Amino acid sequence: MLSYFPRVYPNELLYSILARCYLHMGFSCHKIFLDELYQNRQIVAVTDLPSHLKVLKSNIGNYWSADIEDIIYHHTLFPLYAPFIGQLRKSSIFEAMQSDSGVGVHTRIGMVASKVQPPSYLRYCPLCNVEMKNKYGESYWRRDLQISGIIYCPKHHCELLNSSVKFRVTARHEYIASSGSNCREISSGVNQSGKIAELGARVKSLLFITGIDSPSLWQWNHFYHQLAKDIGAINGQKILHDELRVRMLAYWQVSFLARFKLHQLSDETSWLHALFQKHRKSFAYLQHLLVWQALGLKLPVLTILQIANQYPDRKLSFTSQVGLPSEKIEVEYKRVLWSEFLKKHSSIGIAATRKLPSGAKLYIWLYRHDREWLLLTNKQFRICPNHSERVDWCKRDRSTVIQLFKIIQEESLDLEGPRLTRNFLLKKLPHSSTIERNLYRLPLCKEFFIRYVESLVEYQIRRITIETIKARLRGVIYRRWELERHCGLDRNRLPKITESFIQWIEDTNYAENTFQKNT
């Protein structure tokens, strides 16, 4: 039995905890360390789905208060696969991880035959490693960074790097801790894609889902049939697989899907085709998440799993049903969608929400089939204007001037854009008429317009400058009348500053031509 056990860090792999324990205690041989941990020298050091957890817990129980379920759900990758393998298989694998026989866990969970494979090496974020060393004095293997589908660090948005430690270690009994020798502290690329960030957030959310039953294959079958119907990719009872493929490739680039070997979507043997057919096998978490995101299913992952669990766990004939296989399930499904939609758009009120394109059909359906619930729910999100409440003009002034600064910052980037007049900037505000009528109450906004509105001279000089630069890039030098024509200027009505600026350009062009002729 061990006489020491290290502190457990947030979101740390059990493999990493044991690797740090080996390092801290200064063992010279991994076999002796395994003997202390398990009383068995043949245990394999598994990074993602370890077994023999009952024996381990009995030996370290005095140092770590977490129970076995907590260890499995918060320090292994089991939660990543659990929602998609069915409740019976989930329970059997859970038991196998606790028992003294973890043989076949990876096969039964579907990892061996899956297209989606774990990374080849344990990965790390260099910035996270620096923070860990500053806070804890050492780095560790974070659980959420060892998952296919998470390419960038969720916190720092920099690209994850491969360490020199293989995910499936060559020396089967060795626990290797994160250190400076296997993690090079170098900078990496930054994620610029909101799609990839959203996918990473959804993958990470799977790690923290506990206490929910895993939908069966029949339930997933009905779920995807309804999903195809909701997006209009179904004709009668026939799934329009070409439509699904077009949507997938329009959202995800082939090069991105190829990173996970999921880019083959062109024939009837593809995984996308099988996902919307009768489910004869389970699919990897990443396949589900990629489809949900591409088809616009914006609900949280936990909500989607709850909806899938509401379908009957038995074979039903779709031809005898209207919409969902059960009217009760359909109502529950629509209720969840409408509740999530109201929460997302709670700031604009019910009247505006029901007019949105994505909410109009849903509102009409619920009004016809579940009116009492709909009206009761809408009351909770109704915005009641208080006409007796006085407007806080000071607060309105500050918030409006912040909006104006954002607008002028965005518009200033377009050098060929229209003149930034007061009226132009006002029209960009959501309540422009109110602001314009009450400008005398808004001193900050008034001062903003005095300082930042573009004068006629500034606008003319900007146009002249842009046209001159564009001409020079084409190797053309405009004469004065050509420049005035392209800029829409009237020579007889030019302000003195604009006249001087054009004259300066003429003199510069003349001097340049003279120099070229002399040389």
- Judge whether residue 145 has pLDDT over 90: yes
Segment 91-119 shows an average pLDDT of: 87
The pLDDT of residue 289: 94
Specify if 210 maps to a domain.
no
pLDDT confidence band for 1 (50 / 70 / 90): low
Answer yes or no: is 157 within a domain. yes
Q: State how far the alpha carbon of 480 is from the alpha carbons of 187, 438, 457, 458, 463, in Å.
A: 51, 44, 17, 19, 14
Q: What is the mean pLDDT of residues 238-247?
A: 90
Taking the C-alpha atoms of residue 300 and residue 339, their distance in angstroms, rounded to an integer, is 12
- 20 and 91 both lie in a single domain: yes
Confidence category of residue 252, pLDDT binned at 50, 70, 90: very high
State which of 438, 454, 470 marks the end of a domain: 454
Tell which of 436, 454, 472 closes a domain. 454
Rounded-to-integer distance, Cα 358 and Cα 64, Å:
49
Q: Say what the alpha-carbon torsion angle 48, 54, 57, 59 is, to the nearest 10 degrees.
A: -120
**Comparing 413 with 16, which gets the higher pLDDT?**
16
pLDDT of residue 42: 85
The DSSP-derived string for 74-126 is HHSSHHHHGGGS-HHHHHHHHHHHHSS--TTHHHHTTTTT-S----SEEEE-H
Identify which has the larger pLDDT, 506 or 450. Answer: 450
Whether residue 368 sits in one domain with residue 277: no
- Do the beta carbons of residue 214 and residue 82 sit within 8 Å? yes
Going by pLDDT thresholds of 50, 70 and 90, the confidence category of residue 250 is very high
**What would the mean pLDDT of 242-266 be, rounded to a whole number?**
90
Q: Tokens in use for 147? A: 């998952």
- Residue 324 pLDDT greater than 50, yes or no: no
Cα distance from N-terminal residue to C-terminal residue, the chain: 91
478 within some domain: yes
Q: What average pLDDT does the segment 63-68 reach?
A: 87
Average confidence score pLDDT of the chain: 85
What pLDDT digit, counting tens, does each position of 363-409 carry? 888 888 888 888 888 887 776 655 445 778 899 899 999 999 998 88
pLDDT of residue 387: 43
- Co-location of 297 and 189 in the same domain: no
Domain count for the chain: 5
State residue 385's pLDDT score: 56
Residue with tokens 């995984």: 271
Query: How many DSSP H helices and E strands does the chain contain?
Result: 26, 4
Burial class of 227 by CB neighbour count within 10 A (0 to 12, 13 to 18, 19+): buried
Residues 339, 310 share a domain: no
Question: Is the pLDDT at 323 greater than 50, yes or no?
Answer: no
pLDDT at 134 over 90: yes
pLDDT in tens, 209-242: 988 889 988 899 989 988 888 888 888 788 999 9
The band of 249, judged by pLDDT with boundaries at 50, 70 and 90, is very high
Residue 479 within any structural domain of the chain: yes
Answer yes or no: are the C-beta atoms of 155 and 126 closer than 8 Å. no
Tell me the mean pLDDT in the region 183-192: 72
Handedness of CA 458, 463, 466, 472 (dihedral sign): negative
Q: Is residue 35 part of a domain?
A: yes
Distance (Å, whole) CA 353 – CA 337: 13
> Which pLDDT band, with edges at 50, 70 and 90, does 345 fall under?
confident
Co-location of 36 and 124 in the same domain: yes
Q: Are residues 158 and 223 in the same domain?
A: no
Stronger pLDDT, 189 or 19, i.e. the higher one:
19
Are residue 187 and residue 65 in the same domain, yes or no? yes
Residue 181 and residue 63 share a domain: yes
Average pLDDT over residues 154-181: 88
Question: What is the model's pLDDT at position 18?
Answer: 93
Question: What pLDDT was estimated at residue 486?
Answer: 81
Domain boundary at 269, 298, 316, which?
316
User: Domain for residue 205, yes or no?
Assistant: no
- pLDDT tens-digit readout, 280-317: 888 999 999 999 999 988 888 998 998 888 887 765 44
Please give the pLDDT value at position 386: 52
pLDDT at 515: 67
In a domain, 397, yes or no: yes
For residues 254 and 298, state if they share a domain: yes
Indicate yes or no: pTM above 0.75.
no
**Boundaries of domain holding 363:** 326-383
- Please say whether the beta carbons of 18 and 45 come within 8 A: yes
d(CA 140, CA 133): 9
Same domain as 367, residue 250: no
pLDDT at 245 over 80: yes
Residue range 346-358: average pLDDT?
Answer: 74
Q: Is residue 201 part of a domain?
A: no
518 compared with 230, residue with greater pLDDT: 230
Confidence tier at 318 by pLDDT (50, 70, 90): very low
Domain identity same for 449 and 471: no
The pLDDT > 70 percentage for the chain reads 93
Q: Do residue 127 and residue 182 come from a single domain? A: yes
